[in-house]
């Protein structure tokens, strides 16, 4: 993580609308209110071109670009092209190694263990999910763990690859310690997201993609870039009190000054924060302990994770699974049952003043369709940052749509 200085005005009014507290939305990225939009293909081409300027091969760059742009496309700017600078910095410091050949070990037909050897997280993760899908087609289930990796982007991207094959897909990753355990005020584990996708007839599918914290770090970055205070209950300061200033929390995370993001459910036991805490540890067991990667506070501990070559590394771990539905029941029957379930949920009685009940992934599928047609919206400060990156490496700025 790079040094961070808060940019927020302490006197801003908090945004406490509970409707948008627990999920990423365009409403929080300022993108859809901006006149800046870039066609999906053009934005991907820009990312590939910039990565090539930094020594990344075209094939690997295309994978990274697809993952980043898919996040912006789905209305989740916290994990989109705003993260490009992070990967360039990792390449520059040497803990992200483009072009490395992952080591794949397959102890039994349905399982694989991959050593990413500090390569790009998106590249090894696409390899791992594709391998899990191939194993599921042959064996009914495929499970793949990854160690010695880096940040892999949006978790849902990989689960969606299984959905495209009409399979159930699972994707998890651990991350740098940003979250405090229940009753603690020192970060001990990451936001550790879980993504789960299942196909349904006449629907895009069920797509759960969630951090095990109240919000991911990227959401704090979005609020900080937009100079907006956070709702209470997202994070705590160094003394253990509610923090409203995202920049302060981000700086404390960098400096390990205490405090951090709260686990899903919030502080203490009253709103079941211990459940998010337990889910985060579960992800760490599968992604870190089981894979041989770092876990808990040791992810991104560069001294502890120093390689034999002398290069420090984050040693992030991932877990992927694909399930062949036809090994359980006819695929059409499963998809019909899923569609019926989704319809039952959506047709339930609405709460006061609510016009619609959403099923997980529905908003993102709709935003992706809209942005694919009308252009990917970028917040002004994100676009300006991309222009700065382009200028520094001698690449043309992104081409905006009229």
- Asked if residue 67 belongs to a domain, the reply is no
pTM over 0.85: yes
Counting residues of the chain whose pLDDT is more than 90, the rounded percentage is 82
- pLDDT tens per residue across span 344-379: 999 999 999 999 999 999 999 999 999 999 999 999
Determine the Cα–Cα distance for residues 68 and 66; give it in Å rounded to an integer: 6
- Asked if residue 93 belongs to a domain, the reply is no
Q: CA end-to-end span of the chain, whole Å?
A: 35
- Asked if residue 150 belongs to a domain, the reply is yes
What is the average pLDDT value for the chain, to the nearest integer? 90
* pLDDT for 99 beyond 50: yes
Residue 183 pLDDT grade (very low, low, confident, very high; cuts 50, 70, 90)? very high
Q: Give pLDDT, residue 33.
A: 54
Provide the number of structural domains found in the chain: 1
* C-beta separation of 75 from 24 below 8 A: yes
- Asked if residue 288 belongs to a domain, the reply is yes
Encode burial over 341-370: b for 16+ CB neighbours within 10 A, e otherwise. ebeeeeeeeeeeeeeeeebbbbbbbebbee
- pLDDT tens per residue across span 186-202: 999 999 999 999 999 99
Nearest partner of 45 among 85, 81, 94, judged by Cα: 81
Full residue range of the structural domain in which residue 335 is found: 102-214+262-347
- CATH number at 107 reads 3.30.1370.60
- Asked if residue 115 belongs to a domain, the reply is yes
* pLDDT for 26 beyond 70: no
Determine the Cα–Cα distance for residues 334 and 338; give it in Å rounded to an integer: 6
The angle at the Cα of 172, spanning 159 to 297, to the nearest 5 degrees, equals: 160
- Asked if residue 267 belongs to a domain, the reply is yes
* Residue given tokens 């290069």 in the structure block: 311
**Which two structure tokens, joined as six digits, stand for 172?**
């998890």
- Asked if residue 42 belongs to a domain, the reply is no
- Asked if residue 200 belongs to a domain, the reply is yes
């Amino acid at each position: 993580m790079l040094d961070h200085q808060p940019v927020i005005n302490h006197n801003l009014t908090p945004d406490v609308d509970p409707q948008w507290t627990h999920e990423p939305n365009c409403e929080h990225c300022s993108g859809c209110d901006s006149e800046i939009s870039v066609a999906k293909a053009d934005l991907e081409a820009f990312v590939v071109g910039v990565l090539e300027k930094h020594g990344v091969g075209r094939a690997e760059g295309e994978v990274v670009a697809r993952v980043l742009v898919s996040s912006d496309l789905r209305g989740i700017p916290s994990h989109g092209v705003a993260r490009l600078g992070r990967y360039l910095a990792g390449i520059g410091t040497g803990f992200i190694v483009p072009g490395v050949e992952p080591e794949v070990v397959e102890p039994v037909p349905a399982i694989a263990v991959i050593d990413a050897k500090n390569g790009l997280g998106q590249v090894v993760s696409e390899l791992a999910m594709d391998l899990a899908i191939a194993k599921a087609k042959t064996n009914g289930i495929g499970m793949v763990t990854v160690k010695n990796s880096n940040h892999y982007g949006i978790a849902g991207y990989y689960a969606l690859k299984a959905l495209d094959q009409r399979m159930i897909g699972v994707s998890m990753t651990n991350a740098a310690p940003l979250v405090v355990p229940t009753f603690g005020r020192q970060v001990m584990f990451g936001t550790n997201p879980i993504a789960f996708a299942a196909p349904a007839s006449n629907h895009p599918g069920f797509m759960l993609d969630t951090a095990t914290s109240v919000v991911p770090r990227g959401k704090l970055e979005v609020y900080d870039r937009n100079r907006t205070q956070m709702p209470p209950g997202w994070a705590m300061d160094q003394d253990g009190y509610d923090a409203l200033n995202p920049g302060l929390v981000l700086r404390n995370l960098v400096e390990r000054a205490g405090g951090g993001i709260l686990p899903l459910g919030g502080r203490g036991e009253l709103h079941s924060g211990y459940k998010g805490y337990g889910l985060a540890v579960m992800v760490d067991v599968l992604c870190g302990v089981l894979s041989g990667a770092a876990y808990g506070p040791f992810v991104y501990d560069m001294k502890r994770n120093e390689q034999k070559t002398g290069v420090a590394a984050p040693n992030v771990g991932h877990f992927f699974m694909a399930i062949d539905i036809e090994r359980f029941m006819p695929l059409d029957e499963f998809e019909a049952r899923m569609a019926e379930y989704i319809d039952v949920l959506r047709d339930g009685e609405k709460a006061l003043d609510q016009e619609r009940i959403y099923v997980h992934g529905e908003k993102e599928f709709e935003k992706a369709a809209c942005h694919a047609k009308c252009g990917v919206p970028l917040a002004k400060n994100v676009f300006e940052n991309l222009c700065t990156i382009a200028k520094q490496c001698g690449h043309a700025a992104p081409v905006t749509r009229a």
